[in-house]
Structure 1
């Protein structure tokens, strides 16, 4: 597996990019060094106070976290949320556009420059789906300047 998401809703499973594992148990996070690991807000809360070392190259986390869970070791961290300081945000909620605020490293070593991606209709509230959109952006080749 090249990527994982911890504690994502079950109904997101069919929308995960190929090669992305849905992690449900905290113990599974320590079994692998993840090139890309995304944490949902619920996943971050579930890790609070836990032990065990979690290692990843790139960590995708909610931007409103007061602090990263102490057991996580990451080479790079990208945040998502509705704040202008988040790496991934939305420039509009009425006609959703995913906004990359600053250059983001991808697990394959390439970089995604700051830019915007108009979004197709989504199966849920766009702001709640930011970790899933971030996984797509960081995992899949970008063609024609849009998300697959």
Structure 2
């Protein structure tokens, strides 16, 4: 598909389905990725997300990532939901994992400036499975809790 010719939300939804294999919906004039048993996201503060990205790269793990002003969202496969104690630690670290039934807005553009206020740091790749959520959670916990100066 030629990205230059994508004009409508339906065009972008079809693009995400065809090019990236994502099961997306249109809601309220936006392309949304529903959080399901097959796809989820983990939101991290930007400074921590950069460290997690570097740690995952060292392990050879590729993760699709969306950037917003102060947070990045990593796309994953929900292999298991963290237990209550881990969720408590994640919350203290300002790391969020939205529940099944929620959704994340995807950009209608591949450049840095989109009307949704987000852009792809690493877009998904067709045929490449999303990494397990547990891998990203483990990396996020391993980078520590100290914010760099």
TM-score with structure 1 setting the length: 0.24
Richer in helix (by share): 2
Relative contact order (C-alpha < 8 Å, sep 6+): which is higher? 2
- Answer with 1 or 2: which has the greater Rg: 2
**Bigger strand share:** 1
